[in-house]
């Protein structure tokens, strides 16, 4: 991996909290990073950490019967209200949520 790229990327895109999450994940191989921050998830991928998008993880929990559809929908709606996800992504998630039996 090109460390110059990583250093330039981290200085421009990630804050101290993101860097501490990555460091924690590197020290703990069982750590799971769940975020809506695309830059953080890209860095997790570069460091071979387990990282998942929060909205997709909610669908996984519903699919495994660990979270009700109603709670997942309300969470996704809240993410949209906070502007963490775009309108297009919100509609796609609602569509996938309705397809889960």
Domain boundary among 39, 54, 69: 54
- Report the pLDDT averaged over residues 48-72: 93
Q: Residue 33 is part of which domain span?
A: 3-54
Q: Which residues contact 20 (CB under 8 A, 6 or more apart)?
A: none
Token reading at 50:
């387990």
- What's the confidence (pLDDT) of residue 43? 87
Whether 28 and 69 map to the same domain: the answer is no
Q: Are residues 9 and 48 in the same domain?
A: yes
Q: Are residues 69 and 48 in the same domain?
A: no
Strand 32-35 to 50-53 pairing: parallel
- Residue 35 phi, psi (nearest 5): -155, 165
Tell me: do 93 and 60 sit in the same domain. yes
Residues 50 and 62 in one domain: no
| Residues 47, 23 share a domain | yes
Per-residue pLDDT for 50 more than 60? yes
Domains: count for the chain: 2
Beta-bridge partners for 51: 33
Residues 37, 71 within the same domain: no
pTM above 0.85, yes or no: no
pLDDT at site 18: 86
Say whether both 50 and 72 belong to one domain.
Answer: no
- Which of 54, 69, 90 is at the close of a domain? 54
pLDDT surpasses 70 at 4: no
- The whole-number pLDDT of residue 9 equals 57
Residue 41 has pLDDT above 80, yes or no: yes
């Amino acid at each position: 991996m090109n460390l110059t790229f990583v250093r330039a990327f981290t200085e421009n895109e990630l804050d101290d909290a993101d860097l501490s999450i990555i460091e924690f994940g590197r020290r703990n191989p069982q750590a799971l990073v769940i975020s809506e921050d695309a830059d953080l998830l890209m860095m997790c991928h570069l460091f071979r950490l387990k990282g998942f998008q929060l909205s997709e993880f909610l669908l996984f929990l519903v699919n495994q019967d660990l979270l009700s559809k109603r709670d997942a929908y309300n969470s996704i709606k809240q993410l949209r209200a906070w502007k963490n996800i775009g309108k297009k992504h919100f509609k796609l998630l609602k569509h996938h949520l309705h397809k889960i039996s």
